[in-house]
Amino acid sequence: MARRTTPTGHATRGTTGTNRLRRVDRWIAARREFTTATNPLVVDLGFGASGVTAFELYARLVKVNAGTEVLGVEIDADRVARATQQLAEVRAGTTTFPADARVSFAKGGFETPTARAPRIIRAFNVLRQYDEADVAAAWALMAHRLEPGGLLVEGTCDEIGRVSSWIDIDPTATPLRLTVSLRLAGLESPSIVAERLPKALIHHNVPGQRVHAYLAALDDAWERSAPLGTFGPVQRWLATVRAVKDAGWPVQGTASRWRLGEVTVDWAAVAP
């Protein structure tokens, strides 16, 4: 049964943008932890002023796993009421989302009040508005609600979703990886993500810290790969990621992910 408790956390600014979270949604949709799950419950924690991110998350994930269910969780009761009204419009068939979408909304915070253990919890643009000292406790509250094999995906992005980064965390609240995802067209340097790093890292992007060295390595490889820009930004990015990997950074994945503007690295390589 869902846990009956006082919501943990506080209301954030609630900025919500259509299609803003497409990059992290795309990453979740490709993760084995999600694709192999049976009837996965996915939580959009801190969805903000509009329920649109929950509807978009469902629409993207159900294409990969037909049993997907999405629950939007917000600590602000007015936002839950607004999202519930949006859900009524979806049910009436007056939106672009499927009328039978398995989406619902509930009031709650980091304690994640769900009737069953979630497979995935996505908490985006939430902890960036907290103090760094609050991060570990929030991770633990959310991660410990996951079912075995689940993932907490916590991160941030810019207002239009072109610059994004996130950390994925296992049910023991252990961070596993850092992923950076960027729009490659017009990209000046990968370190543009510095201002959109997750809260656990953003204050550590200073000389002598591992995340600073990592972003510097990406910038250096991007600069050295400039001649490949003749063939387009994707080829330049692929060369950048390969160069960083060849230099010893524990980069994960293959070119099929990298060409999307992504690069994922082991958490230990960037941890404070």
pLDDT, tens digit (0-9, with 9 covering 90-100), for 211-244: 999 999 999 999 999 999 999 999 999 999 999 9
**194 domain-assigned:** no
Kindly report which listed range (79-83, 125-129, 176-180, 268-272) carries the lowest average pLDDT score: 125-129
Q: Are 140 and 43 in a shared domain?
A: yes
pLDDT band per the 50, 70, 90 thresholds, residue 2:
very low
Which of 154, 173, 192 is where one domain is finished?
A: 173
| Residue 1 pLDDT exceeds 60 | no
Q: What average pLDDT does range 82-106 have in this prediction?
A: 96
Shared domain for 169 and 48, answered yes or no, is yes
Same domain, 153 and 34: yes
> How many independent structural domains does the chain possess?
2
Q: Are residues 138 and 234 in the same domain?
A: no
Residue 132's CB is within 10 A of a number of other CB atoms, namely 15
pLDDT greater than 90 at residue 16 = no
Is residue 86 pLDDT above 80, yes or no? yes
Percentage helix, strand, coil for the chain under 3-state DSSP, each rounded to 5: 40, 20, 45
Query: 3-class SS at 4?
Result: coil
71 and 161: one domain?
yes
DSSP conformation class of 231: G
pTM: 0.93
Same domain as 158, residue 69: yes
Q: Is the pLDDT of residue 4 over 50?
A: no
Residue 15 pLDDT more than 90? no
- 67/108 same-domain check: yes
CATH code for the domain in which residue 48 is found? 3.40.50.150
Express each pLDDT in 192-218 by its tens digit: 999 999 999 999 999 999 999 999 999
Distance separating alpha carbons of residues 42 and 103, to the nearest angstrom: 10
- Domain of residue 257: give its range: 201-269
**159 shares its domain with 253:** no
At 47, list the tokens. 């969805």
Does residue 134 share a domain with residue 32? yes
Output the average pLDDT for the chain: 95
Q: Are 99 and 92 in contact (CB under 8 A)?
A: yes
